[in-house]
Structure 1
Amino acid sequence: MATDVRGSTFEPKVHLEDWKLWEQFSAVQTEMIVTKTGRRMFPGYRVKMSGMDPNAQYCVLMDISSVDENRYKFQHGEWVVAGRGEPQVPQRFYLHPNSPCSGQQWMKEIISFHKVKLTNSCGNSADGKFLIHSMHRYQPRIHIVRTDDVNTLHLQPMSTFAFPQTAFVTVTAYQNGQITKLKIANNPFARGFREDGAKTK
């Protein structure tokens, strides 16, 4: 928590946008496709921020951490532990391209992480791509650092935020039919999967 010269305090807060949609997916255990070239997440990860010092500079980052050390399988309509998982790769941080930016600017608009992609290829670790294993559970996290210099990020206090409803299992093909239906119903880019071929505007 930072304090300005007048003695008032600033404590950044993060609100998850589209939380109702995330909860629909979470209720049936969210799955995210992972590919060699990288696949974007759906639902998209978007947040609204508050509680920042409007005149201070902040950097905002994301990482995707493993929930546990297990590997999973989809069996009898649910995800169950299938043994010990793969050794986790040390995760890099994705620095939001608006960083650094004033608290006033961060709080003004919805912050989107639509450029983030999930990959299972070691040779495909470009900026914005997270190397993760299929059939494992992960949790996206947001980090806020009060600094105007990206080179000092590791030296500054970091505020971390995670929303349990955004945790997901990584797959190379959807396992749960309910997830497939939710993706098709809510993702305009999934219209090619619709059985009736309906187009959305």
Structure 2
Amino acid sequence: MSPRYRPQVHLHDVQLWDSFSAAQTEMIVTKTGRRMFPGYRVKMSGMDPNAQYCVLMDISSVDKNRYKFQHGKWVIAGRGEPHIPQRFYLHPNSPCTGQQWMKDIVSFHKVKLTNSCGNCGDGKFLVHSMHRYQPRVHIVRTDDVNTLHLQPMSTFAFPQTFFTTVTAYQNGKIAKLKISNNPYARGFRED
């Protein structure tokens, strides 16, 4: 990569993510797959406007522990399940020029979390319930998706986006935040 160009990724909706992070973010995981909320959206800068880039996402384990929600906070409950090697989700706009990537907010709204092996792929990440994960964005300068693994990769992660996976919300604060902020949760709101 040219020293003149250094891709940067900036988290969108930072205040929303910060409010969830302060309450210890939980993400629902289902057999069929559940979308993340807050949604993972980023703004990019520092790219060569004329070069082609591929943008990818993965979700990595934060540690090797299993957690439980006890007395209002998440605590370690023992050794976790074996780490699941994650596939990368290639953003559907890839490859695209740096100019195009930097023009708009890049959304990973199609990404889903599943706890069933049979439902992996197509933007679904296999995760274990009651474990912690960190979404990451990767930028590769290439116009050929088949050579991604041969090219240098820039990786970006944001501390406020790590979360604990659950099959039902454990923390009432998280449930309230999701109902207040998620437009798809309006059926749970009281008028």
C-alpha distance in structure 2 between counterparts of 1:27 and 1:189, whole Å: 22
- In structure 2, what residue type is equivalent to 1:158? M
Runs (4 or more) in structure 1 with deviation over 3 Å come to none
**Residue in structure 1 matching 2:175, options 169, 175, 180:** 180
The amino acid across from 1:180 in the alignment is A
Equivalent-residue separation in structure 2 for 1:19 and 1:162 (angstroms): 13
Match of 1:108 in 2: 103
2:139 and 2:10 mapped to 1: Cα distance? 13
Superposition CA RMSD, Å = 0.7
Q: Which amino acid aligns with 1:140?
A: P
Give the alignment's TM-score, normalised by structure 1: 0.94
Paired residue secondary structure (1:10): coil
Give 1:6's aligned residue.
none
Residue in structure 2 matching 1:37, options 13, 20, 32 = 32
Quick one: distance in 2 between partners of 1:192 and 1:18? 23
Structure 2 CA distance for aligned equivalents of residues 193 and 80 of structure 1: 28
Number of the residue aligned with 1:123:
118
Q: What is the alpha-carbon distance in structure 1 between the residues aligned to residue 106 and residue 56 of structure 2?
A: 11
Q: Displacement, 1:140?
A: 0.1
Structure index of larger Rg: 1
Q: Which runs of 5+ in 2 are unaligned?
A: none
In the superposition, the TM-score normalised over structure 2's length comes to 0.99
SS of 2:24 mapped into structure 1: coil
Amino acid of the residue matched to residue 105 of structure 1? Q
CA deviations over 1:58-104 (Å, ceiling 9, x no partner): 00000000000000000000000000000011100000000000000
Identity of aligned residues (%): 83
Number of matched pairs: 191
